[in-house]
Structure 1
Amino acid sequence: MEFDTLIIGGGLAGLQAAIQLGRSLHHVAVADNGVGRSTIAKNYRNILGYPDGVSGQQLRSLGEQQARQFGVSFFSGTVNSLTQNEDGRFRAELTGLDQEPVEFLAKTILLSSGIKDPFPTIKGMDPCLGESIFICPDCDGYEIVNQHALVIGSGNHAVQMAKTLRYFTKTITIVNHDGAKVGEPEQVYLVQEAIPIHHEPIVQIEQEEGRLKRVELASGIGIAVEKGFLAFPGAKLQTSLLAGFDLQRLDTGHILANPRTKETTYRNIWAAGDVVAHSQQVTISLGDGSQAAIWIHKRLLEMAKGNG
């Protein structure tokens, strides 16, 4: 199947790009495996136009419906390989979730596959994610103002999160869920700030319609709490498909993209969303997607004239 652009990752950056490219009359495919941060976020409350919040799934659903109106094709599954033919077109293979494997040929690529978070498996946690348990203080620090906040994390990462959250609330408890070592400077800080820390795992979270009520530790201790933040190391950028291409990355592993166009240092491959270094905000991902699509459109016009 041949397309002008293959978008790998149907999160919010990818969907915004698909809408923009569809409205530019291009033949576009979106390949998505149905996972990612936006699939689990129950309520974004910091997006213009949604004062009462909106879920990631709702945004994705609305975005797909809108993109389909402009002729964008959607494929469910995982893109397992990405190469480039001698004629410059890219070849990708998708293993479908609900269909046979699909092979794509595309003139341009947009990678918007995001980040995979190392969330622990805790009974009762899933309904709370994005509703009363968060990962980003920049996005959701406001949600804990003057409330009792629980940091569920790993060693020094959990302490660092507590430091950040002290701006929003003075009542914080840490659960060092995986028992990782806490450094001496961090221990001194916790004593100075009177922040309690429990070095044992949570076995169960009690919640009501996603609203955090109480957590139970392995020892049987129960902690009544209103909101929580996760703080674990090991979030992985989903960029392995570009391993075979000679393009530049930052020390963090993020793809280096032109700040004006979002094109990578490999011609005709663009990157948008969390695979590019930024604040990991929905609104920025949307802007990335739109910006990348505008410049993909310009390149496709050049190609049509034989200058691509």
Structure 2
Amino acid sequence: MTTDDCIIVGGGPAGLTAAIYLTRFRLRTRLFDCGSSRASWIPCTRNHAGYPEGISGNDLLARMREQADKYGVERQDARVERLTPEDDETFTVHAGDQTYRARTVLLATGVVNHRPRHLTPEVHDPAVARGLLRYCPVCDGYEVTDRKVGVIGTGDHGMREALFLRSYTRDVTLIAPEAEHALDPACAAKLDDAGIARINGPCGGYAIEGHQLAFDTARGRMAFDSVYPALGSRIRSRLAVEAGAKATDEGCLEVDDHQRTTVPGLFAAGDVVKGLDQISHAMGEAGVAATTMRNLLSEQRPLRR
């Protein structure tokens, strides 16, 4: 079995950035992409530097794939099921019914956003494409300036997202996803001070109505220009944790300043490390990880032309 220098798990901005770096370091690099990058859901990002008119997530990913392919990455459309560290400073990677070996591994598996219950794909997907449903106020809060915005969430997390969006528009409503709000007095006081309305759930009956996303609440049917679910996310760190890497209680992988996990030779970059939900941040971490991987391999065996 051929041993790759590097295997990358994840085909989003972090994984593809690492692939570009590693192949340009002239390392034998294989990338596994199961096709679930959250970047593909972005209809148009306008805060990614270098694209003053914005660029869709799919177009950005396509350009990055083309760039990685140009330098010789072995890119495979497959889901990695298991990762096993071996005694001889290599890893065995299991994808489908195939196994692969690598001297180093980078996990760029990201996170999965929790979606509102009862929101079907038939409504969810076109709502995201039209900007009626948004998941990252840091990315696109500017686009909802002076619009009518709903935030589905409660507790401290829901409050913080509603307050963040209040800096863009006066018309923000926080809707509990299931029943009554779970807000302590301090949260409630901050919302009241900001003039943010609070509505109890449950939420359901989602539909696109004209240019708004509408749904049922305890106060009746409501419609918004944009809706932000503030329901948290699931961090896709299982592969690393099962391989022995340490993670926080929330599931974020613990890494050092060079993106090294607690398992030698295993690296991580992007939202699987810290769910900042920013493409630029994920790409920066990937560049650091790839350079460190190259230097580690050079220490083990001189890299010479």
TM-score range, shorter chain: 0.7 to 0.9
Quote the offset at 1:161 in angstroms: 2.1
Letter matched to residue 109 of structure 1: V
Q: Distance in 1 between matches of 2:146 and 2:272?
A: 34
| Uncovered stretches (5+) of structure 2, i.e. residues with no partner | none
Hey, what does 1:98 align to over in structure 2? none
CA deviation map 1:203-249 (0-9, x unaligned)? 123166xxx5140316894434222211113x111111122444333
Q: Distance in 1 between matches of 2:183 and 2:230?
A: 16
Q: Distance in 2 between matches of 1:138 and 1:22?
A: 32
Letter matched to residue 208 of structure 2: E
Q: Distance in 2 between matches of 1:177 and 1:20?
A: 42
| Uncovered stretches (5+) of structure 1, i.e. residues with no partner | 96-100
Q: Aligned to 2:262, what secondary structure does the other structure show?
A: coil
Quote the offset at 1:152 in angstroms: 2.3
CA deviation map 1:75-114 (0-9, x unaligned)? 112111111222221001102xxxxx22110000001101
Quote the offset at 1:176 in angstroms: 2.1
Letter matched to residue 2 of structure 1: T
Do 2:163 and 2:191's aligned partners in 1 also have CA atoms closer than 8 Å? no
Q: 1:198 to 1:293 in 2, by over 3 A?
A: same
Cα RMSD of the aligned pairs, angstroms, is 2.4
Hey, what does 1:20 align to over in structure 2? 21
Q: TM-score, normalising length from structure 1?
A: 0.87
Q: TM-score, normalising length from structure 2?
A: 0.87
Hey, what does 1:117 align to over in structure 2? 113
Q: Distance in 2 between matches of 1:206 and 1:129?
A: 11
CA deviation map 1:262-297 (0-9, x unaligned)? 122322111100111263211010111111111111
Do 2:199 and 2:218's aligned partners in 1 also have CA atoms closer than 8 Å? no
Q: Distance in 1 between matches of 2:24 and 2:237?
A: 27
Hey, what does 2:241 align to over in structure 1? 243
Matches within 5 A, 1:103-182: 103-120=99-116, 121-123=118-120, 124-129=123-128, 131-154=131-154, 157-179=157-179, 181-182=181-182
Hey, what does 2:59 align to over in structure 1? 58
Q: Distance in 1 between matches of 2:92 and 2:78?
A: 16
Do 1:155 and 1:180's aligned partners in 2 also have CA atoms closer than 8 Å? no
Q: Aligned to 1:60, what secondary structure does the other structure show?
A: helix
Letter matched to residue 64 of structure 2: G
Q: Aligned to 1:129, what secondary structure does the other structure show?
A: helix
Match of 2:252 among 238, 241, 254: 254
Match of 2:206 among 204, 208, 219: 204
Letter matched to residue 126 of structure 2: P
Q: Distance in 2 between matches of 1:219 and 1:253?
A: 33
Q: Distance in 2 between matches of 1:134 and 1:244?
A: 32
Q: 1:199 to 1:258 in 2, by over 3 A?
A: same
Q: Distance in 1 between matches of 2:147 and 2:242?
A: 48
Q: Distance in 1 between matches of 2:168 and 2:50?
A: 24
Aligned length: 296
Q: Which runs of 4+ in 1 moved over 6 A?
A: none
Residues 1:79 and 2:76 are matched in the alignment: no
Residues 1:69 and 2:70 are matched in the alignment: yes
Letter matched to residue 133 of structure 2: I
